[in-house]
Structure 1
Amino acid sequence: MKTKPANSLIESPASISASQRRQFIKQGVALFGGSLLAGAGFPSIVMAQSTQLETTKAKLGFIALSDAAPLFVAEEKGFFKKHGMTDVEVAKQSSWGTTRDNLVLGSAKGGIDGAHILTPMPYLLTTGAVTANNIPVPMVILARLNLDGQGISVSNEYMDLKIGTGSADFKKGLERKKATGKALNAAMTFPGGTHDLWIRYWMAAGGINPNSDLSTIVVPPPQMVANMKVGNMDAFCVGEPWNLQLIHQKIGYSALTTGELWANHPEKALGMRADYVEANPNASKALLKAIMEAQMFCDDPANKEEVARICSSRKWINAPVGDIIERMQGHFDYGTGKVVENSPHVMKYWKNHTSYPFQSHDLWFITENQRWGYLPSKLDAQALIKKVNREDIWRAAAKELGVAASDIPKSTSRGIEKFFDGKVFDPANPKKYLDSLAIKAMKG
């Protein structure tokens, strides 16, 4: 049963203010014409039909990562409630696989309605590429949650090489270790997810084939450091705070932050089950507005310490604030003697059009998933993007929030993107980009 919000606009005419009456009449004229406004109570009914929240409930999943901060802040600072979503549960998930499984279930069956999610996952779910029996679970993307801020770290076993942005030295280290007969592993968090694509891109650019030169394994983000400590991997790609925690525990070091691969790259998204959005369009927009306000809060330098403290709590990431605050403020200690202050690759939550879900970025993620065989090469990517990417809802929410025109992109494409190895992705010609890549594992 859908719940009527506490601030329902279905009221008696006597309880409506003069300004509300003027707004009701204005909407009524626009929708039906003046002849239908004769009934004294009619304007309030018009308003209720157009803007009333269908539900105040939503269950959102998250993984213990600092790029989930907008969800934490939206709850802690009351933004969900501010927009009428008084019954939002933000529930910790143990892995991206668990997030997938709970999205498949949906909240009606004990799962979740949406999540802080790896940007490619809504596409992998919608196509059924990562579900049991390949059964599609239609999803939508309402917003991007952050740009940059992930990292690729390597074990102290390779400290003598001081591996950096290029992976050629990592290749030398792997060849050295392979000669001893030991297993070689690179860890990421979900097949076809952002971390998988970053570490594959990085390795392939240096001549390492991630499908044959070593094993690419799946490890949940909060378990990365412990697994490297016991020697289960040579390198991993994950979000913060786990790269910095690795350094603080003297287990490994940062080769690079992913913004060095692709400056201002998209990362996580706010993904929702399509049936939730279809049944609850106003509630979905209310959730989005709360998240957008939280993103603005997170990106304000004056709030960084508070955001780090919120993230560190047991309820959310459950990690020392010292493992979170430094990189959140742009202080990057790579663990090798290299230290960068005010890094341009600090995680962004709002500025640089972070929140807007560019369709061109979704096309890159689909193209990379085709590159590695997670999605078929014969796929109507544009049609799929139009189903999943709901930038139209984002624009409507931005208008209602009064977002500055300069913070609202004029196009659904951010244009041509350039990568650290000189490769170029033109959204108008993804095939040319694919053809330029030497290492890939495409399927029909």
Structure 2
Amino acid sequence: MSEHDIRRSDAPEKRVLNIGFIALTDAASVIVAATQGFAEKYGLTLNLQRQASWATLRDKLLSGELDAAHSLYGMIYGVQLGLGGAPATDMAILMGLNQNGQSINLSQGLKFAGVTSRDALKIRAHHSGAKLIFAQTFPTGTHAMWLYYWLAAQGIHPLNDVESVVVPPPQMLAHLKARRIDGFCVGEPWAAHAVEEQQGYTLATSQSIWPDHPEKVLGCTHAFVERNPNSARALIMAVLEASRFIDQNEENKLSTARLLSGQAYLDAPLSAIQPRFLGHYQDGLGYAWQDAHPLRFHGEGAVNMPYLSDGIWFMTQFRRWGLLRDDPDYLGLANQVQQLELYAQAAEAIGIQVPDAMRSSQLIDGKIWDGSDPIGYAHSFAIDALVDSSAVAL
């Protein structure tokens, strides 16, 4: 099916779509698609609606107030499984929006106390009276999963040795300044902004946990796809083209960073957005580097594929941390949520390669994840919170 055929015979059922986003750098491709002519090319008008928190965005997706949204990968699967305070609802992931680009920051107080390494953090977590308080952005979201995985890889139990609280991304810096939290895991520009404001330092990036990890997705309810398959496909095509545009060259990245800094989008200083957008990092401890796995939006299509193995991974972590009492039908659920056929139609129509639905990666603890044995993987960790449902009194 060619791009021309799609535009002529498969016109969008719904031409004006309300698209939610959170004030984060990785909303870039959705914002560019809506504002730089990519959506209009496919017969769509995208009304961008910035949301205050992931919980608000989720609720508006479920109510139909939003048609689709820049979403946390784990949030979509959490709703699918009825976790995190919302009723179980069939959900859909249309495409990946980005890889990499999140950070774990600690407070100035910990810096002054000499907690500037992973070993020092482990000692502090295990041998001090009051528990450290870490913020993440949503109970089943990516930031919770990166934080938990990273802490566990250091020998720190994320549910027993520290406290975890939920804070919306744009509020992280204020909570750090007010000393209500000792650290956080969040997307940019809020980690970079904390370093710039000398209110914290970056001890780990998410790409150091899992190089080229899945991050935000274009999510919606499954009902929206069923009612509006042509609109959903057109939306994928528009955001795919925007993603390709951003990653095409540095000039496009710079112009996108300037766009994002505007009051309607991130409302944050360009100086906090642009460097890490380009992969330039300073950790607040005197170290600067060009990251080998920077925030990216397209990667010749490798970023945007809704890999089955990516979706399955989040469910293994829900099982690991006791959010699920039993092992679900990992592959069956991933095949239901990941819109592989629709994505392939959109990608092939605009000449973007569609990779295999499973991919293999090595994470920070040396474990290989390839999606082939989710039950074995979920039960393979020395630090976990697994619940044996057979031993739970009903």
Tell me the CA shift for residue 175 of structure 1.
Answer: 4.2
Deviation for aligned residue 1:62: 0.5
1:190 corresponds in structure 2 to 138
Q: Corresponding residue for 2:233?
A: 285
Partner of 1:387 in structure 2? 336
Corresponding position of 1:115: 69
Does the Cα contact within 8 Å between 1:327 and 1:346 map onto a contact in 2?
Answer: yes
Work out which of the residue numbers 178, 187, 192 in structure 2 matches 1:239.
Answer: 187
Give the C-alpha shift of residue 338 in structure 1. Answer: 0.8
CA distance in structure 1 between the aligned counterparts of 2:116 and 2:314, rounded to whole angstroms: 26
| DSSP-derived class of the 2:299 partner | coil
1:156 matched to 2:108: yes
**Equivalent of residue 201 in structure 1, options 149, 159, 167:** 149
The answer to whether residue 222 in structure 2 is matched with residue 274 in structure 1 is yes
CA contact (8 A) 1:423 1:436 kept: no
The one-letter code sitting in structure 1 at the alignment partner of 2:108 is: N
Structure 1 residue aligned with 2:94: 142
Is 1:155–1:235's contact at 8 Å kept on the other side of the alignment? Answer: yes
Q: Paired residue for 2:277?
A: 328
Q: 8 Å contact 1:152–1:254 — kept in the other structure?
A: yes
- Equivalent residue in structure 2 for 1:298, among 231, 242, 246: 246
Deviation of 1:385 after TM superposition, in Å, equals 0.9
Q: Can you give the 5+ residue segments of structure 1 that lack an aligned partner in the other structure?
A: 1-22, 28-46
Deviations 1:213-259 (A, max 9, x none): 12100000000000011111111000000001001111110001110
Match of 1:85 among 37, 44, 47: 44
The question of whether the paired residues in 1 share the 8 Å contact of 2:103 and 2:205 is answered with yes
Task: Indicate which of 355, 358, 362 corresponds to 1:413.
Answer: 358
Separation in 1 of the partners of 2:284 and 2:85?
A: 39
Aligned CA RMSD, in angstroms, stands at 1.8
The amino acid across from 1:163 in the alignment is: T
Match of residue 61 from structure 1 = 20
**Contact conserved, 1:424 with 1:433, CA < 8 A, in 2?**
no
- Of residues 204-213 and 89-98 in structure 1, the stretch that sits farther from structure 2 once superposed is 204-213
Report if the CA contact (8 A) 1:257-1:345 is conserved: no
Which of 71, 85, 96 is 2:30 aligned to? 71
Whether the 8 Å CA contact 1:426–1:433 is kept in 2: the answer is: no
> Which residue of the partner structure matches residue 349 of structure 1?
297
SS of the aligned residue for 1:247 comes to helix
1:59–1:376 distance in 2 versus 1, CA, 3 Å: farther
| Paired residue type of 2:378 | L
Question: Alignment partner of 2:61: what SS?
Answer: helix
Which amino acid letter does the alignment assign opposite residue 88 of structure 2? P
For the residues of structure 1 that align with 2:126 and 2:226, how far apart are their CA atoms? 52
Output one character per residue of 1:160-214: Cα deviation in whole Å (capped at 9) or x when no partner: 53634xx3321223345x33xx452011000011000001011111111111112
How far off is 1:376 after superposition?
A: 3.2
Normalised by the size of structure 2, how large is the TM-score?
Answer: 0.93
Q: What is the number of equivalent residue pairs in this alignment?
A: 382
Q: 1-side partners of 2:11 and 2:230: how far apart?
A: 7
> CA 1:113/1:376 → structure 2, altered by over 3 Å: closer, same or farther?
farther
| Structure with larger Rg | 1
**Corresponding letter in the other structure for 1:100:** R
Aligned with 1:112: secondary structure? coil
The match for 1:340 is 289
Question: Where does residue 392 of structure 2 map in the other structure?
Answer: none
Aligned twin of 1:440: 384
Out of 70, 77, 81, the position equivalent to 1:127 is 81
Q: Which amino acid aligns with 2:379?
A: D
Where does structure 1 differ by over 4 angstroms across 4 or more consecutive aligned residues?
Answer: none
Opposite residue 191 of structure 2, the aligned amino acid is N
SS in 2 for 1:120: helix
Whole-Å separation in 1 of the counterparts to 2:376 and 2:82: 27
CA contact (8 A) 2:153 2:364 kept: no
Q: CA deviation at 1:130?
A: 2.6
1:52 matched to 2:1? The reply is no
Please give the alpha-carbon distance, in whole angstroms, between the structure 1 residues aligned to 2:83 and 2:279.
36
User: Larger relative contact order (C-alpha < 8 A, sep ≥ 6)?
Assistant: 2
Deviations 1:98-126 (A, max 9, x none): 111111211xxxx2111100112222112
Please give the per-residue CA displacement for 1:52-111, whole angstroms capped at 9, x wherever unaligned.
22120211110100000011111120111111003x2110010111111111211xxxx2
Structure 2: unaligned runs, 5 residues or longer: 390-394
Seq. identity, %: 37
- Report the alpha carbon displacement of residue 419 of structure 1 after superposing the two structures with TM: 1.0
Matched, 1:367 2:316: yes
1:373-425 C-alpha deviation (Å, 9 max, x unpaired): 2223231111111111002111100111122xxx321x21013x211221222
C-alpha deviation, 1:330, in angstroms: 1.3
Contact 1:162 1:255 (C-alpha < 8 Å) held by counterparts:
no
Is the contact between residue 143 and residue 355 of structure 1 (CA under 8 Å) also seen in structure 2?
Answer: yes
CA distance in 2, matches of 1:186, 1:424: 27
Tell me, in whole angstroms, the C-alpha distance in 1 between the residues paired with 2:375 and 2:297.
Answer: 31
Partner of 2:177: 229
Q: For residues 264-298 of structure 1, what are the alpha-carbon distances to aligned partners after superposition, in whole Å with 9 as ceiling and x for unaligned?
A: 11101000111111111111111110100110111
Aligned with 1:186: secondary structure?
Answer: strand
